[in-house]
Amino acid sequence: MWQATLSTILTLAIGLPGAYLLAHYNFWGKSILRAITAIPFVLPTVVVAASFTSTLGPNGWINRTLITWLDLETAPIILNHTLWAILIAHVFYNTTIILRLVGDYWTLMDPKMIKAARCLGATQFRAFLGITLPLLTPAIVSAALLVFIFNFTSFGVILILGGPIFSTLEVAIYRQTINFFDLEMAALLSVIQLICTLGLTILYARLSRKTHRPLQTNRLPSIRRQQLNWKKRISIVIVITILIIVLVVPLITLAFSSVYKFEPDRGERENISTGFTLNYYHELFVNRRNSIFFVTPIETILFSFRNAVITTLSALAIGLPATWMLTRKTRLTQLLEPILMLPLGTSAVTLGLGLLLVFSRTPFNMRTSSLLVPLAHTLVAFPFVIRSLLPSWTIINPQLRKAAAMLGANPIQIWREIDLPIIGRAILVAGAFAFTISIGEFGATILLSRPEFTTVPMAIYRYLSLPGALNYGQAMALSTILMIFCGTSIFCIEAIRPNAISEF
Amino acid sequence: MLEIIDISKSYESMEALNQISFSVAKGEIISILGPSGCGKSTLLSIVAGLTIPDTGMIRWNGISLTSVPPHLRNFGLMFQDNALFPHRNVYGNVAFGLKQLRLDPAAIDKQVSAILNMVGMKDLANRDVLSLSGGEQQRVALARTIAPKPRLLMLDEPLGSLDRNLREQLLHELRQILTKLEQTVIYVTHDQDEAFAIADRVAIMNAGQLIQIGRPRDIYEHPVSTFVARFLGLTNILEKSIVSVDKSNGVRISEKSLIPVSQPPPKHMKNPRILVRPRGAQLSEHGTLSGILAGISFRGALVDLKIIVSNELQLKFEVPTPSLIPKVGTKIKLELPSDASIWIEDDSL
C-alpha cells in the first residue's frame, strides 16, 4: 500500500514535466524519445528487474564504477531488497503511462484557454493553477490511479527486487501457494486482492470516461515551434536528461551486461578473462544444468514463441466477437462490459491461482497440459485486446454502413469493405499487444508452468536467483533478447496504431 | 490611444505581417477586415502581448508595451471560438478576470451580475458553459472579456460561428453595449457587412499587408485597389484590353457603350483600372450604356441588374425599381452619373 502510493507520487513527479514537454514542444528526436519511453511499459517484469540488477544491483554498473573510482571494498549503494529498489523500478515501469495519458490529453487542450486567462490578468502561474490544472485533473487522476493499480498488483519486480522483507498481496499469494501449499490462505488473499483491484478499476473506468468529455475546440493539435529562450532550453534539456536516465539508461546497461564479462565463471579460476564476450549467448544453446532445466534456454524461447502465437490467435478469436458485441449498445452489453473488463482488474497471479484451482481436479484436469499457460496468457491479454479494438471500432460512422448498404452491399461485403479496412490496423495492434504480453507474462506463468514447459521470463527469473557470473550473464542475455523483441513490437505498434488518444 | 508601429512577424518562412502601422483613438471602434489567413489574428495576438513581433512596437498613450506581459496590459481579447473555461460555470468564467484583480467577493458578485444583466444572461449565472447555445456562449465570452474593464477591447471574429439571423441581432446588441461603455475596440472580421455596421473606421488587410484604412463610406466610395473593391463586392472592374479612350471625357467599352471617367488616370498608379460603381445608374432611353439584360433580382425600392455589354464584359448595377420591369434577354439602356467610375490600382498580380 505504502509502496504503491509512494511509487505513484514519484512517477507523477517525473512523468508530469515530461508530459508537458511532449505536449508543448517540438524538438529534434522527439518521436524517437516518445517511442523509446514507451518501451518500459511493455517490458516483462523480469526484464525490468534484470535491468535494475544490471544497473543498480551489487554487481551493477553504477556500483562497479564507484568501486573502481573510489577504490572501495564493497558496493557503496545497496539497493537490493530495499524499498528504493522497488520504487525506482516502478517509476521506470510506469512513467510512460503518465507521459502518454496526460501528455496526449494536454496536447488536445486549447492553448487559447491559457491565452484567455492571461488576457484577463492572470499571471502565468495563476493561469496554470486556475485553468490548466483543473482541466488536466481528470487525466492526471485517472493516469495516477492506473499507475497505482499496477503498483498495487506488482509481482515480478517485488519478488525479484524486494527480497523477503517486502511483499505485496500478489507475492503473498504466490508464497502461500508455492512455498507453503496453503491454497485456502492463498484463495482468501486472492479474494481480498480481487475486491481491491476491482474497486480501483471501476473507479478508473469512471474517471477515464470523464476525460472523454469533450475538451471542445482545439481540433488539430497546434504545436508550433516556439522561440525558446535559454531558460526554457535548459529546463527542456534537464527534463529530457531525467527521462533518459530513468527510462533509457537501465535498458542500455542491460544490453551491455549481456555482452560484458566482469568476473570469472565458477571453476574457471586459472585463466581469468573479462571483457566483451558473446559467450552468454552461446551458452543459451547449451543444456548445462540438467538438474534445474529440462530444456536449453533456447528451447524456452521456442516454447514462449509457441505460447505467444496461440495466445494471439485465441485472444483475437475471443476479443473480436466480444468487441463487436460491445459496440452494439444493448442492455446485455451494458451488463457484459464490466464482466469482460474483469480480467484487467484481476492480477495475473490471482488468475494463475484460479486456473490452478480449476484445472487441477477433474473434470478439467489439465494441470500437465502445455496449453494451460497460453490459456492464462489469453486471459491476461484479453482486456488489452478489447481496449485496442474498441475505440477504432466505435468511431466507424454508422452512416458509412448504411451508405454501403444503399449502394447494394450485403452484410458480408459491408464488413469486408467498411469495417475491416477501418479496424484492420487496430486488429494488428491488438495482436501485437497480445503477443508481447504473452512473451513477457510472468505472474500467472510462475504458478502454472512446469519444468518441462519453461518460458523465457521463467528462465530469467531462475538464472537471476542463482549465483555465478554465467547465470547472471545468461539472465542478462535472455533479458536483452526479450527487451529487443518488446522494443521492436512497441515500435511496430506505434507505427500502425490508428491516430487516437492512447489508452491503456 | 493605441499605436501600432511598423509591426512585422514571420513564421519560419511564411510572412504573417509586413510593417503594419496604424493607431486607434480612445473610444474608437476600428474593424480589421480581411480574408482568413491575412494576419488579422496574429496582429491581435501581438497587441495582446501573447505573440512577440519580429520588429516594431505597440504603444499605449505614448508608452511602449514591449516589456509588459499580457496580464499587466489590461487589454481584453475575446477569442474566435470563445475559449470559455469548460470547468467553470457562467459565473465562474465572468468572475475570473475580476478575481485576478483581487477584489473582495462582494464587489465581484455585484460586478458579475451587473455585466450578466447587460448581456442579458443574468438568469443563467449557474449554468454549465458547455450546455449553452452558441449565441449564449458568445454573450458569456463578451461578458467575461469586458468584466475587468479593459482599456482596449479586442474581438476576434466574435460572431463567426453563428447563423445569419442571430448574427445580425447580436451585432446590434454589441454595437449598443460598446457605445454605451465608450470602449476602445479592435474588431476583427472577414465579413464586410459586420465591419461596416459596427466600425468607426475599417482597416482592410490582405496577405500580411495593410491595404487601406478609413471610414466605411470612404472605403466603399474610394477603394484603393482591385483587391479592396472585389472584397467589398464591387466587381465592375474594366480590364485594360477592352477599354479605348473616347474624346467625350470617358472610355468606350463597346460600340454602343460609353462610360464617363476622368482622364487621364492618376500618375502614381502602376496598373490603373476602371471601377464602375453599381449605384446611381438609371434605366433611360438616352443612356450611354447599352447591353442585354442577363439577370434581374428584386430588392424592394431597388433592383439588381446584370447586363451583358459585350462578349467579354458583364456589369452589375442597382437601379431604382422601374414601373415596368424589363424582361431578361431584352436590350436595355442605362444612364450613368458623371461620378460613376473611378481609377483604382490593380494589385491582384
Say yes or no for a CB contact (<8 Å) between A224 and B11: yes
Say yes or no for a CB contact (<8 Å) between A120 and B148: yes
Give the residue from B207, B82, B339 showing the smallest Cα distance to A218: B82
Q: Report the distance separating Cα B71 and Cα A326, nearest Å.
A: 49
From the centroid of its chain, how far is CA B2? 19
Task: Tell me what the mean pLDDT of segment A327-354 comes to.
Answer: 69
Number of Cβ within a 10 Å radius of residue A244 = 14
Contacts of B137 in chain A (CB under 8 A): none
Show the domain range for B48. Answer: 2-231
The answer on B291 and B213 residing in a single domain is no
**Which pLDDT does position A216 carry in this prediction?**
43
Q: Report the distance separating Cα A263 and Cα A498, nearest Å.
A: 48
**Which pLDDT does position A261 carry in this prediction?**
61
- Give the residue from chain A lying closest to B84, CA to CA: A113
pLDDT in tens, B297-311: 888 888 999 999 888
Say yes or no for a CB contact (<8 Å) between B52 and A121: no
Say yes or no for a CB contact (<8 Å) between A112 and B130: no
Indicate which CATH number applies to the domain containing B339. Answer: 2.40.50.140
The conformation of residue A212, written as its DSSP 8-state character, comes to: T
Asked whether residue A46 is assigned to any structural domain, the reply reads yes
Least confident segment among A12-26, A67-81, A170-184? A67-81
Task: Tell me what the mean pLDDT of segment A470-492 comes to.
Answer: 78
**Which pLDDT does position B242 carry in this prediction?**
65
Q: Are A445 and A455 in contact (CB under 8 A)?
A: yes
Give the residue from A254, A290, A308 showing the smallest Cα distance to A477: A254
**Which pLDDT does position B21 carry in this prediction?**
93
The CB-based long-range contact list for B105-112 (8 Å cut-off, 24+ gap) reads B111/B147, B112/B147
Å between A155 CA and nearest CA of chain B: 38
Asked whether residue A98 is assigned to any structural domain, the reply reads yes
Does pLDDT of A266 surpass 50? no
Task: Tell me what the mean pLDDT of segment A180-189 comes to.
Answer: 78
Does pLDDT of B296 surpass 60? yes
Does pLDDT of A393 surpass 80? no
The answer on B259 and B203 residing in a single domain is no
CB environment A414-443: b (16+ within 10 A), e (fewer): beeebbeebbebbbbbbbbbbbbbbbbbbb
**Which pLDDT does position B20 carry in this prediction?**
92
Q: Burial of A156 by CB count in 10 Å (0-12 exposed, 13-18 middle, 19+ buried)?
A: buried
**Which pLDDT does position A79 carry in this prediction?**
63
- Give the residue from chain A lying closest to B98, CA to CA: A120
Percentage of chain A beyond pLDDT 70 is 71
CB pairs A-B closer than 8 Å: 75
Which residues of A fall below an 8 Å CB-CB distance to B? 110, 112-113, 115-124, 126-127, 130-131, 134-135, 214-217, 224-225, 227
The answer on B247 and B194 residing in a single domain is no
Q: How many CA atoms are closer than 13 Å to the CA of A18, on its beta-carbon side?
A: 27
Furthest C-alpha separation in chain A? 83
Instruction: Give me the amino acid identity at B100.
Output: Q
- Give the residue from chain A lying closest to B97, CA to CA: A120
Indicate which CATH number applies to the domain containing A21. Answer: 1.10.3720.10
The answer on B266 and B247 residing in a single domain is yes
**Which pLDDT does position B205 carry in this prediction?**
93
Minimum-distance CB partner of A122 among B49, B77, B100 = B100
Cell numbers standing for residue B39? 494576419
Instruction: Give the list of residues 6+ apart from residue A278 with CB closer than 8 angstroms, or none.
Output: A259
A348: helix, strand or coil: helix
The CB-based long-range contact list for A366-372 (8 Å cut-off, 24+ gap) reads A368/A450, A370/A303, A370/A453, A371/A310, A372/A448
Å between A233 CA and nearest CA of chain B: 18
Does pLDDT of B341 surpass 80? yes
pLDDT in tens, A426-474: 888 888 888 888 888 887 777 777 666 777 888 778 777 776 667 777 7
Show the domain range for A264. Answer: 2-214+230-496
- Give the residue from chain B lying closest to A136, CA to CA: B87
The answer on B245 and B222 residing in a single domain is no
Å between B346 CA and nearest CA of chain A: 35
> Which of A20-29, A200-209, A287-296, B55-64 is most confident?
B55-64
Task: Tell me what the mean pLDDT of segment B20-41 comes to.
Answer: 91
Å between A338 CA and nearest CA of chain B: 29
Say yes or no for a CB contact (<8 Å) between A115 and B83: yes
Instruction: Tell me: ipTM over 0.85.
Output: no
pLDDT in tens, B211-239: 999 999 999 889 999 999 988 888 888 87
For chain A, the average pLDDT equals 73
Contacts of A123 in chain B (CB under 8 A): 69, 71
Does pLDDT of A290 surpass 50? no
Cα–Cα separations (whole angstroms), residue B274 to A152, B108, B249, B252:
80, 58, 14, 12
**Which pLDDT does position A269 carry in this prediction?**
44
Instruction: Give the list of residues 6+ apart from residue B319 with CB closer than 8 angstroms, or none.
Output: B281, B282, B283, B302, B303, B305, B334
Structural domain count, chain A = 1
**Which pLDDT does position B56 carry in this prediction?**
92
Minimum-distance CB partner of B97 among A120, A131, A134 = A120
The answer on B128 and B273 residing in a single domain is no
pLDDT in tens, B75-118: 989 888 788 888 888 998 898 888 888 888 999 999 999 999 88
Contacts of B9 in chain A (CB under 8 A): none
Structural domain count, chain B = 2
Give the residue from B334, B230, B212, B216 showing the smallest Cα distance to B282: B334
Domain boundary among B231, B263, B297: B231
Percentage of chain A beyond pLDDT 90 is 0
pLDDT in tens, A81-137: 677 778 888 888 788 888 877 877 787 777 788 888 888 888 888 888 888 888 888
Does pLDDT of A218 surpass 50? no
The answer on B329 and B295 residing in a single domain is yes
Does pLDDT of A262 surpass 60? no
Does pLDDT of A503 surpass 60? no
Domain boundary among B212, B231, B250: B231
pLDDT band at A349 (very low <50, low <70, confident <90, very high): confident
Q: Report the distance separating Cα A158 and Cα B45, nearest Å.
A: 53
Q: Report the distance separating Cα A351 and Cα A442, nearest Å.
A: 12
Domain boundary among B186, B205, B231: B231
Question: In chain A, helix, strand, coil percent, each to 5?
Answer: 75, 0, 25
Å between B71 CA and nearest CA of chain A: 4
A162: helix, strand or coil: helix
pLDDT in tens, B155-186: 998 887 777 888 888 888 888 888 888 899 99
The answer on B281 and B192 residing in a single domain is no
Asked whether residue A502 is assigned to any structural domain, the reply reads no
Give the residue from B291, B287, B266 showing the smallest Cα distance to B336: B287
The answer on B196 and B159 residing in a single domain is yes
Which residues of B fall below an 8 Å CB-CB distance to A? 11-12, 45, 48-50, 52, 69-77, 79, 81, 83, 85-87, 96-97, 100-101, 130, 144-145, 148
End-to-end CA distance of chain B: 36
Does pLDDT of A305 surpass 50? yes
Q: Which residue has the higher pLDDT, A169 or A395?
A: A169
> Which of A267-276, A277-286, B328-337 is most confident?
B328-337
**Which pLDDT does position B5 carry in this prediction?**
93
The answer on B127 and B196 residing in a single domain is yes
The answer on B131 and B33 residing in a single domain is yes
Least confident segment among A39-43, B128-132, B162-166, B204-208? A39-43
Q: Burial of A106 by CB count in 10 Å (0-12 exposed, 13-18 middle, 19+ buried)?
A: buried
Task: Tell me what the mean pLDDT of segment A193-209 comes to.
Answer: 74
A191: helix, strand or coil: helix
Minimum-distance CB partner of A126 among B81, B85, B100 = B100
**Which pLDDT does position A285 carry in this prediction?**
60
CB environment A159-177: b (16+ within 10 A), e (fewer): bbbbeeebbbbbbbbbbbb
Asked whether residue A93 is assigned to any structural domain, the reply reads yes
Task: Tell me what the mean pLDDT of segment A311-324 comes to.
Answer: 84
Give the residue from B127, B147, B146 showing the smallest Cα distance to B137: B127
From the centroid of its chain, how far is CA A193? 20
